[in-house]
Amino acid sequence: MTKIETPLFLSVEFLLPGMPTIQEILEKFKEFHPQGDAAIIEKAYQFAQKAHEGQKRLSGQDRLEHLAQTAYTLVQLKLDANSLAGGLLHDILERWAFA
């Protein structure tokens, strides 16, 4: 029988329990990218926070929690600031495209 290994980014240990804070995301980003533009990540987080205030996903999870977990996964993969901002904003078009 072939053993299939779970990629690191799919493992439970890869995510923080609960919702990662913007401070945790920024700390990890600065660890990997000391000269990176953390301001764009913070602006994207603030925008997502306002745009999705009080919204839940079909699963019942807060939409912002999903977005923060997405950004935390991306920062663990050592992606750049624009990629993290994209992760935080990826539900904007889905949510508002037909509004």
Tens digits of per-residue pLDDT, 72-99? 999 999 999 999 999 999 988 766 654 5
What's the chain's average pLDDT?
Answer: 84
Q: Work out the average pLDDT over 43-70.
A: 90
Q: Residue 25 pLDDT more than 60?
A: yes
Instruction: Note the pLDDT of residue 61.
Output: 85
| Angle in degrees, CA 34, 76, 2, rounded to 5 | 145
Domain layout of the chain by residue ranges: 38-99
**Residue 41's closest CA among 16, 72, 7?**
72
